[in-house]
């Protein structure tokens, strides 16, 4: 298959993919990969396969194609191709929750001295790196990366990147409990979709609605949360977006838990858990188990709650997800206080404070811990943050 035919077939695949015929598109692209003798065409078709597998939540396949793409980039001996392939490798690892590897591949990208094209990818590299630091609960470095990504988006007038960074910032502020900002950023993302997103994939709209739903729930605006989550889930189902379906199911379950409707929450946690397990989102699994633990505690089923905690703790330790561990110690503290088991209680109080210190979750002004309750935060140019009050 020559250069022109390769190009034609890639376009055919894209057309199929955009009209929701994913499996047909994959078959066309796989045929190009087998038959094409054009390395640049092979590189491009690998990019299509990587994106498609990412959106379906087939992260192991995504990683496999990213590795092949690096070999193709080396064959082409072009630093821009190499930067792009390392970014895809970083993003594959980010999706598989291999955060240390993600950071290391992102650093490789940033150290490559490509041309302007390669440097334009730096915004996406900074975003992926920020998501990985957030997965490790290294908040200051995550914020630095997100702000850098936002600067790249503004300088290159890249509205799609800006939209993705706003969603990540929403997630960031939801975790450290500044719920005003956790809502502000995904609302900004939704505005960008409305103003510029006519030709964009619907996943951008779905993503902003999901992050708005999370913030609305945390603010106690449960009807608004439900509306946004339903909108997001509708798009996720239309597009076969398994990762987003899992997140929406988790959000639905959390909304029902907030309404004290544990019976409706449990089946949604279960459905979310089975998709998260299938796609390999271990960070998501910790969130599901945290929600289930709180349900068991509401029902005074403390031994079942401790079973969920044990599973979540093993996952969180494997990931290096420090905020998850802090929340688990906090829940254990409440359980052992109720059970009157003083030794275990003391043990978890100590571990809780170790986590707070390790994450440096203290306000630089008042010295109180950050992320304990909803409070407005302000970040300094050095990415240290403190209570606005």
pLDDT digits (tens, 9 = 90+) for 225-271: 999 999 999 999 988 899 999 999 999 999 999 999 999 999 999 99
pLDDT digits (tens, 9 = 90+) for 55-72: 888 999 999 999 999 999
Taking residue 242's Cβ as centre, other Cβ atoms within 10 Å add up to 19
Is the separation of the CB atoms in 13 and 48 below 8 Å?
yes
Is the separation of the CB atoms in 165 and 129 below 8 Å?
no
Any domain includes 337: no
Average pLDDT over residues 184-211: 93
User: Which region among 25-39, 133-147, 160-174, 207-221 has the lowest average model confidence (pLDDT)?
Assistant: 25-39
**Which residue in 167, 191, 203 sits closest to 17, CA to CA?**
203
Q: 381 pLDDT band (50/70/90 cuts)?
A: low
Q: 290 pLDDT band (50/70/90 cuts)?
A: very high
Is the separation of the CB atoms in 185 and 169 below 8 Å?
yes
Average pLDDT over residues 297-303: 92
Q: Report the C-alpha gap between 173 and 81 in whole angstroms.
A: 34
**Which residue in 287, 296, 229, 295 sits closest to 260, CA to CA?**
295
**Which residue in 374, 370, 104 sits closest to 215, CA to CA?**
374
Q: Report the C-alpha gap between 207 and 271 in whole angstroms.
A: 19
Percentage of the chain beyond pLDDT 90 is 57
Structure tokens at 48: 């299509």
Burial group, residue 113, by CB count within 10 angstroms (0-12, 13-18, 19+): exposed
Any domain includes 317: no
Q: Report the C-alpha gap between 371 and 11 in whole angstroms.
A: 47
Taking residue 176's Cβ as centre, other Cβ atoms within 10 Å add up to 23
Average pLDDT over residues 205-216: 96
Flag whether pLDDT at 360 surpasses 60.
yes
Average pLDDT over residues 278-291: 95
Name all contacts of 143-147 with Cβ < 8 Å and 24+ positions apart.
Answer: 143/172, 143/379, 143/383, 143/385, 144/383, 146/172, 147/379, 147/383
Task: Give residue for tokens 């889930």.
Answer: 233
Q: Residue 145's pLDDT is what? A: 96
Beta bridge partners, 369, equal 362
Any domain includes 63: no
DSSP letter string over 363-385?
Answer: -TTT-PBSSSS---EEE-TTS-E
CATH of the domain at 164: 1.25.40.10
Average pLDDT over residues 165-194: 94
Any domain includes 186: yes
User: Which region among 128-132, 216-220, 337-341 has the lowest average model confidence (pLDDT)?
Assistant: 337-341
Query: C-alpha 214: how far from its chain's center?
Result: 13
Any domain includes 259: yes
Flag whether pLDDT at 106 surpasses 70.
yes
Beta bridge partners, 155, equal none
**Which residue in 301, 292, 245, 289 sits closest to 265, CA to CA?**
292
Question: Which residue range forms the structural domain that includes residue 184?
Answer: 158-268
Q: Which helix (H) or strand (E) holds 341?
A: none
Any domain includes 354: no
Q: 387 pLDDT band (50/70/90 cuts)?
A: low
Average pLDDT over residues 156-184: 93
As for how many domains the chain has, the answer is 1
Cα distance from N-terminal residue to C-terminal residue, the chain = 65
Any domain includes 283: no
Q: Report the C-alpha gap between 204 and 55 in whole angstroms.
A: 12
Any domain includes 242: yes
157 backbone dihedrals φ, ψ, rounded to 5°: 50, 45
**Which residue in 388, 347, 333 sits closest to 364, CA to CA?**
388
Is the separation of the CB atoms in 375 and 388 below 8 Å?
yes
When the pLDDT of each residue in the chain is averaged and rounded to a whole number, the result is 88
Q: What is the pTM of this model?
A: 0.90
Q: Which of 86-95, 340-349, 350-359 has the highest mean pLDDT?
A: 86-95
Q: Report the C-alpha gap between 39 and 81 in whole angstroms.
A: 11
């Amino acid at each position: 298959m020559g250069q022109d035919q390769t190009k034609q077939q890639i376009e055919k695949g894209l057309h199929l993919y955009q009209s929701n015929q994913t499996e047909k598109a994959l078959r066309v692209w796989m045929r190009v990969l087998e038959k094409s003798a054009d390395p640049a065409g092979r590189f491009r078709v690998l990019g299509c396969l990587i994106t498609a597998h990412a959106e379906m939540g087939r992260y192991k396949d995504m990683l496999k194609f990213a590795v092949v793409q690096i070999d193709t980039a080396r064959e082409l001996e072009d630093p821009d191709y190499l930067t792009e392939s390392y970014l895809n490798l970083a993003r594959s690892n980010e999706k598989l929750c291999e955060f240390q590897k993600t950071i290391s591949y992102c650093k490789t990208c940033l150290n490559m001295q490509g041309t302007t094209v390669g440097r334009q990818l730096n915004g996406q590299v900074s975003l992926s790196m920020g998501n990985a630091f957030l997965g490790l609960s290294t908040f200051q470095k995550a914020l630095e990366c997100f702000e850098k990504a936002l600067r790249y988006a503004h300088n290159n007038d890249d509205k799609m990147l800006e939209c993705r960074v706003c969603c990540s910032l929403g997630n960031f502020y939801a975790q450290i409990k500044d719920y005003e900002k956790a809502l502000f950023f995904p609302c900004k993302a939704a505005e960008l979709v409305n103003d510029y997103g006519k030709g964009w994939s619907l996943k951008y709209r779905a993503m902003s609605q999901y992050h708005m739903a999370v913030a609305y729930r945390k603010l106690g605006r449960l009807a608004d949360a439900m509306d946004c989550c339903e909108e997001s889930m509708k798009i996720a189902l239309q597009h076969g977006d398994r990762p987003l379906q899992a997140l929406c199911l988790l959000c639905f379950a959390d909304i029902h838990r907030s309404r004290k409707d544990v019976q409706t929450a449990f089946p949604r946690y279960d459905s979310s858990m089975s998709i998260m397990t299938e796609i390999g989102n271990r960070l998501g699994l910790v969130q599901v188990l945290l929600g289930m633990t709180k349900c068991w505690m509401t029902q005074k089923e403390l031994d079942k709650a401790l079973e969920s905690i044990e599973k979540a703790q093993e996952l969180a330790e494997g990931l290096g997800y420090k905020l998850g561990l802090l929340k688990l110690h906090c829940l254990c503290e409440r359980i052992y206080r109720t059970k009157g088991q003083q030794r275990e209680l003391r043990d978890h109080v100590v571990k809780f404070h170790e986590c707070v210190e390790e994450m440096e979750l203290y306000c630089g002004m008042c010295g109180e811990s950050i992320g304990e309750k909803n409070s407005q935060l302000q970040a300094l140019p050095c990415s240290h943050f403190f209570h606005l009050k």
